[in-house]
Amino acid sequence: MASSARAFGAVLCRVSLSQGLSPLRSSLCLQGIGLLGSRLPSALPKEARNTQTVRKIWTSRPVCMGRRSCKIAGRKDAQNLKKMKRNSKIGKEIVAAIQRGGPNPNSNTVLAAILDKARELDVPKEIVERNIKKATEKGQEAYIEKFYEVYGFGGVGMVVEVLTDKVTRSVAAVRGVVKDCGAKLADPGSILFKFRRVRVVNIKANAADKDQLLSIALDAGAEDVIEPAEDEDDLEEDRPDRYYKIVTSSENYSTILSKLRDDGVAFEPDNGFELLPHNPIEVDDEAMELNKDLMSKLLELDDVDAVYSDQKDT
d(CA 100, CA 94): 10
- Is residue 165 included in any domain, yes or no? yes
Within this chain, do residues 165 and 41 fall inside the same structural domain, yes or no? no
Residues 26 and 149 in one domain: no
The 10s digit of each residue's pLDDT in 111-132 is 888 898 888 888 999 999 999 9
pLDDT in tens, the chain (314 residues): 544 545 544 444 444 444 444 444 444 444 444 444 444 444 445 554 454 544 444 433 434 444 444 454 555 666 777 788 888 888 888 998 898 888 898 989 888 888 988 888 889 999 999 999 888 888 788 888 999 999 999 999 999 999 998 999 999 999 999 999 999 999 999 999 999 999 999 898 888 888 889 998 988 899 999 888 765 555 555 455 688 999 999 898 989 989 998 988 888 888 788 999 999 999 999 999 999 999 999 999 999 999 999 998 75
Residue 111 lies in a domain: no
Query: Is 233 within 8 Å of 299 (Cβ atoms)?
Result: no
Task: Confirm whether pTM is higher than 0.85.
Answer: no
CA 300/CA 314 separation, integer angstroms: 23
Q: Within this chain, do residues 175 and 285 fall inside the same structural domain, yes or no?
A: yes
Looking at 30, 49, 68, the residue that finishes a domain is: 49
Question: Does residue 27 lie in a domain region?
Answer: yes
Domain membership of residue 162 (yes or no) is: yes
My answer on whether 149 and 264 are in the same domain is yes
| CB-based burial, 201-224: b 16+ in 10 Å, e otherwise | bbbbbebbeeeebeebbeebebee
Q: Are 224 and 247 in contact (CB under 8 A)?
A: yes
187 falls within a domain: yes
On whether both 39 and 162 belong to a single domain, the answer is no
Q: Tell me, what DSSP letter sits at residue 166?
A: -
Report the 10 Å Cβ neighbour count for 69.
12
> Residue 178 maps to which CATH number?
3.30.70.980
Residue 42 placed within a domain: yes
Q: Does residue 296 sit in the same domain as residue 171?
A: yes
Q: How many CA atoms lie within 13 A of 205 on its CB side?
A: 15
Q: For the chain, how many structural domains are there in total?
A: 2
Dihedral angle of Cα 312, 274, 207, 253, to the nearest 10 degrees: -140
Reference 95, options 49, 54, 42, 135; nearest CA is 135
Q: What is the pLDDT of residue 141?
A: 83
Instruction: List the domain range (segments joined by +) for residue 7.
Output: 2-49
Q: Are residues 167 and 40 in the same domain?
A: no
Same domain, 36 and 172: no
- Rounded CA-CA distance 143/297 in Å is 22
**Separation CA 12–CA 249 (nearest Å):** 79
Could you give the maximum distance between any two Cα atoms of the chain, in Å?
Answer: 96
pLDDT tens digits for range 169-181: 999 999 999 999 9
164 shares its domain with 34: no
Asked whether residue 179 is domain-assigned, the answer is: yes
**What is the reported pLDDT for 155?**
96
Give a yes or no: residue 262 inside a domain.
yes
Q: Are residues 158 and 39 part of one domain?
A: no
